[in-house]
A and B are shown apart, each in its own frame.
Chain A
Amino acid sequence: MLSTKFTPATKLSKAEIDRKWWEIGDFFRRNSLWLLMYCTGCCAIELPPAMTSAYDMERLGMGPMATPRQADILLVSGYLSLKTLRRLIYTYEQMSEPRYVVALGSCPINGGIYHDSHAVINQLDQYIPVDVYVAGCMPNTEAVMNGFVDLMDQIKHKTANGWKKYHANFEWYKENQRNSLGEVDVHDEFHE
């Protein structure tokens, strides 16, 4: 019988060590999700009760942030017109990775009550990858909180891979964006 004292330590491969570090990082990432709220539609009204004393998202370590660089979650609440979609893509590309997208309401899923409008896009995940949908018109605050907990579970089980999908299928996303918007660049209407 081998003494444990002299058993040589099993050498972990580089991939295994990376995976271990990534799991440690995932613990911190899922317990400290900072939101960038892109409040375009009426679902935004469900966020104040989620933040304040009724549901208190800070107990999960979540909180609002001021700029895309600091945020982890891009929260799209409601319909997206073509003009706001352009800004949304810019905002998404500015966020530091790993980044996640949560879409509130039925508008980003299938267009909702604006499905036949010429100015509004119907499916958000044609343009940027969406990790969690919260369906409803508008979703209840419990549903919103449940969506955040779902996202935490996804991060734990390594299935919140939207940002990797955006890298892998970058050309496909860009082509969809160009087809809808003509050009993706944002022009400064006020100073040109």
Chain B
Amino acid sequence: MIINVLVGIGIAFFAFVLQTSVAGLNRKIVGRLQKRIGPRWYQEFIDIFKLLSKRSVSHGWIFDFGVIMALGGIIGTAMFMPITSNIVAFQDYDNFFIFVYLLAVGMLGMAMSASGSGNPWASIGVMRALTTMLAYEVPFLIVVLTIINLSGTSSMTGIQIFQQTAGNNWFILALPLGGIVGFIALMGMLGKKPFETYIAPAEIASGPMVEYGGKQLGMLFILHEISVWIEVTLFVHLFLGGATNIFEFLIKYFAVYTLANLISNVNGRFKIDQVVTFFYKWPLLMAVTQAVIAIYFGWVI
């Protein structure tokens, strides 16, 4: 049991280090895209440690406690996530629905803390974040339920092993429409540019983060890195066949995150109502079509 917890904490630490490095590399890539030199690859680490070294103000104990609760919830979620099909901290507890439930702890902690600051921009940001969540969850869950129906298990390791067995394709090939929906929903989860409505620095002054500075903002950055890792890893495991060893995982992870980031950097920002109508129009239609084709007709490549 203690070994399992230690492995879990190791996975959470791995998640933080990996995603922070990948995010730094992506800032460099985006810099090159815009004909700039770009920052050093470890710039994100410097940013986080700088924030932790600053003095910060408090807006009451809800504000402080919410950040710690969110960070704890996200670290707890990351502990359950398998890295590859054989590196997993808690065997048989890597069910997809565990992540759906535990991710909400982090989100709610952050919403509570942001509302505790009393800033109206923070309330608007939280409201937009929850609305965006409501928009992308419906098509995403339809696709994931199709995957669970086809593979006969909702365990993340089980879904990976199902895709890795001979005769089965990765789900992004087996369910092409579903794969596209999954990627669009991933962009929504990550808050990448067409769906960046709840951060929107120029519009609502970075939304939920508006009153954070110093140590609390540093903790929010760590939280953000780990939650991005969880979401991208979910996509890798569900659609790209997971990974048999750690190098395969690193390559797939880097490819998915970089692609999302590149798409984000050539797009503008939707308004919040456009996000909702977008997700409820095309991705939902594609997800339902894919579910009908795959489950009712049984046409799976």
Contacts and interface: CB of A to CB of B under 8 A. Distances in A.
Contacts of A68: 213
B39 A61 contact: yes
A35 to B, nearest CB: 13
Nearest to B217: A70
B36 A56 contact: yes
Nearest to A25: B53
B268 to A, nearest CB: 18
B54 interface: yes
A59 B214 CA distance: 22
In terms of DSSP, what is the predominant structure of the interface of chain A?
A: loop
A95 B27 CA distance: 26
B35 A59 contact: no
B296 to A, nearest CB: 48
A58 B27 contact: yes
A19 B53 CA distance: 13
Interface in A15-43: 24-25, 28-29, 31-32
A67 B36 contact: no
A13 interface: no
A29 to B, nearest CB: 5
A68 to B, nearest CB: 8
Contacts of A58: 27, 31, 36, 38-39
A59 B46 contact: no
Interface in B62-107: none
A61 B40 contact: yes
Given A32-B50, A56-B31, A58-B38, A69 B43 contact: no
B162 interface: no
Contacts, number: 83
A48 interface: no
A53 B34 CA distance: 7
Interface in B25-53: 27, 31, 34-40, 43, 46-47, 49-50, 53
B46 A66 contact: no
A97 interface: yes
Contact of B43 (A32, A53, A65): A32
Contact of B55 (A28, A31, A32, A97): A97
Contacts of A24: 53
Contacts of B217: 69-70
A65 B221 CA distance: 14
A-side interface size class: 20 to 34
B56 interface: yes
Contact of B36 (A25, A32, A52, A61): A52
Given A69-B212, A70-B213, A61 B47 contact: yes
Interface stretch (B179-187, B202-210, B239-247, B282-290): B202-210
Interface of A: 24-25, 28-29, 31-32, 52-53, 56, 58-59, 61, 65-72, 95-98
Interface of B: 27, 31, 34-40, 43, 46-47, 49-50, 53-57, 201-202, 205-206, 209-214, 217
16 contacts: A28-B50, A52-B34, A53-B36, A56-B31, A58-B39, A59-B38, A61-B39, A61-B46, A61-B47, A66-B210, A69-B57, A69-B213, A70-B209, A96-B55, A97-B54, A97-B55
Given A53-B35, A96-B56, 9 more contacts: A29-B53, A31-B50, A32-B43, A56-B37, A66-B202, A67-B210, A70-B212, A96-B55, A96-B214
